[in-house]
Structure 1
């Protein structure tokens, strides 16, 4: 199985909308109400919102493809696009993978893309927010060296949830770049 990573452009909005809604629904539909899920999916993955995010110079999206099909995506934020303003840092806002591709190194490939960009930007750290009940993601980030440093609220429809904030300090030496 060959995984390829490619930058998403505004021409890819419909595919981004599709993979975004599909992966989020797969990940969280069975632990949230139908109304909250519908509200979140409509607002967060509207064409207008995605176009705004894609045109933001401080955000980037990447698709992961397997055999030509988009199976996952990554969204990273810099500067003012970060959900929490952390100097000299890059935020991983989303790594979402279709369930059929869990455990097949797709998330790891997207994570590595984020790390590579962080090193190119000479960021001091890379950080993210992850729902405290998303145990699979928590294990993934723990395995990759992230440590909790705080919390913030995340609204899914009318449900106020808690995201753990996690970060990984980056050392800028050649031998450490090969994570």
Structure 2
């Protein structure tokens, strides 16, 4: 594994963040969704105005994962009022965790999860949580291996297609 570095994203990184966000999201979910629903979701979730607002939110944190000179993935964390919903008291949400397709299965996802847990501990949080699509079996198995347990579920809309995300929680104290 190359030397890894987590670099916090800044407003100046907006274009790079948008590009890696769209690339990794499409690589992960494009095959299972219609082009219309994929476009509708990406146009909303990765709109520059939305990403800029998220980058400027005090309780949200974006990070690029660098392996040597390459950006191989990214991470988005939320605490307090920035969380997308209230799952557990005193928790940190892992809203996005993506590795570029060419760099999967190299330990980078584990690295990002561990980094999220370190950030949670630094902020004196007692748990971390995330949502994962019910049909993303590889991700579900990975999170289970990393100590996450299913505690709930919620609806997630990909365009006009209602999908189910399982809510997974891990206590870190």
TM over 0.5: yes
Alpha-carbon distance, 1:65 to partner? 1.2
Q: Name which of structure 1's ranges 62-71 and 157-166 shifts more when overlaid on structure 2.
A: 62-71
Alignment of 1:122-137 (within 5 A): 122-137=124-139
Deviations 1:16-51 (A, max 9, x none): 000000000000000000000011111111110000
Alignment correspondent of 2:75: 74
Alignment correspondent of 1:44: 45
CA RMSD of aligned residues (A): 0.9
Q: Where does structure 1 lack aligned partners over 5 or more consecutive residues?
A: 172-179
Q: Where does structure 2 lack aligned partners over 5 or more consecutive residues?
A: none
Alignment correspondent of 1:24: 25
Alpha-carbon distance, 1:95 to partner? 0.4
Deviations 1:117-149 (A, max 9, x none): 011111111111110001111011101000000
Alpha-carbon distance, 1:108 to partner? 1.2
Alignment of 1:1-179 (within 5 A): 1-85=2-86, 86-171=88-173
- State the SS of the aligned residue for 2:153: strand
Alpha-carbon distance, 1:152 to partner? 0.4
Alpha-carbon distance, 1:2 to partner? 2.0
Q: Name which of structure 1's ranges 10-19 and 66-75 shifts more when overlaid on structure 2.
A: 66-75
Corresponding residue pairs, total? 171
Structure 1 moving runs of 4+ over 3 Å: none
- State the SS of the aligned residue for 2:58: coil
